């Protein structure tokens, strides 16, 4: 028997102005994208923004449906839009934020498992890691160097 330990690292910033300028800009776009959220069922708005290698910025927001399982997360909306508009262009960074009608979100929003899997697929597809920048409505901002750190034991399609 051998014991294997997995390790993840992230950077923690106390406030927006501590971040590099381009990350600040991306988080601001994620925040702006909240207004396009269609979330009448959860009243939980999520905004995502991508920086692509060609310098383009792409925003996305969660899009809900009365048939709940059809709800689309902001991260996957943005990632699908980016590959539809700029096919083959790697994603350098993704910023995600959220706003709830009922509580003030003071800790970084955490992408769901499905979005982590899709972020990892994007990294594998483009053979390039993306930085993942997460914040709630306010407070701490955390930055992962790769989506892989959010999903260490991903299903990567190597068996298919
Ligand atoms: N949601 C996202 O947009 N991203 C996530 O990573 C987690 C959840 C959305 C889906 C749904 O519209 C709402 O948040 C509540 O689950």
Q: Examine the residue annotation and report whether 64 is marked as an active-site residue of this protein.
A: no
Report d(CA 65, CA 3) in Å as an integer. 44
CA of 51 to the centre of ligand 1 (A): 20
Strand segments, DSSP code E, in 55-114 are 57-61, 91-100
For the chain, give every domain's residue range.
Answer: 11-150
Q: Do residues 108 and 144 lie in contact, with contact meaning Cβ atoms separated by under 8 Å?
A: no
Q: Provide the token pair at 5.
A: 């330990």
Strand segments, DSSP code E, in 53-127 are 57-61, 91-100
The CATH fold of domain 11-150: Cytidine Deaminase; domain 2 (3.40.140)
Which of 31, 42, 102 has the most ligand 1 atoms within 8 A of CB, as the residue to mutate?
42
pLDDT digit of tens for each residue in the chain (160 aa)?
Answer: 999 999 999 999 999 999 999 999 999 999 999 999 999 999 999 999 999 999 999 999 999 999 999 999 999 999 999 999 999 999 999 999 999 999 999 999 999 999 999 999 999 999 999 999 999 999 999 999 999 999 999 999 899 9
CA of 3 to the centre of ligand 1 (A): 35
């Amino acid at each position: 028997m051998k014991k294997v330990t997995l390790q993840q690292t992230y950077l923690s910033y106390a406030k927006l102005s501590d971040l590099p300028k381009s990350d600040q800009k991306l988080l601001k776009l994620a925040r702006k994208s909240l207004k396009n959220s269609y979330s009448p069922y959860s009243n939980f708005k999520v905004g995502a923004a991508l920086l692509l290698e060609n310098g383009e910025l792409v925003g996305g927001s969660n899009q809900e449906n009365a048939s709940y399982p059809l709800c689309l997360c902001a991260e996957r909306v943005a990632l699908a839009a980016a590959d539809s508009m700029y096919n083959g262009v790697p994603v350098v960074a993704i910023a995600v934020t959220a706003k709830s009608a009922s509580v003030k979100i003071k800790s970084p929003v955490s992408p769901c498992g499905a979005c982590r899997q899709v972020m990892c697929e994007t990294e594998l597809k483009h053979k390039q890691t993306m930085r993942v920048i997460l914040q709630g409505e306010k407070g701490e901002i955390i930055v992962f160097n790769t989506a892989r750190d959010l999903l260490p034991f991903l299903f990567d399609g190597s068996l298919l």
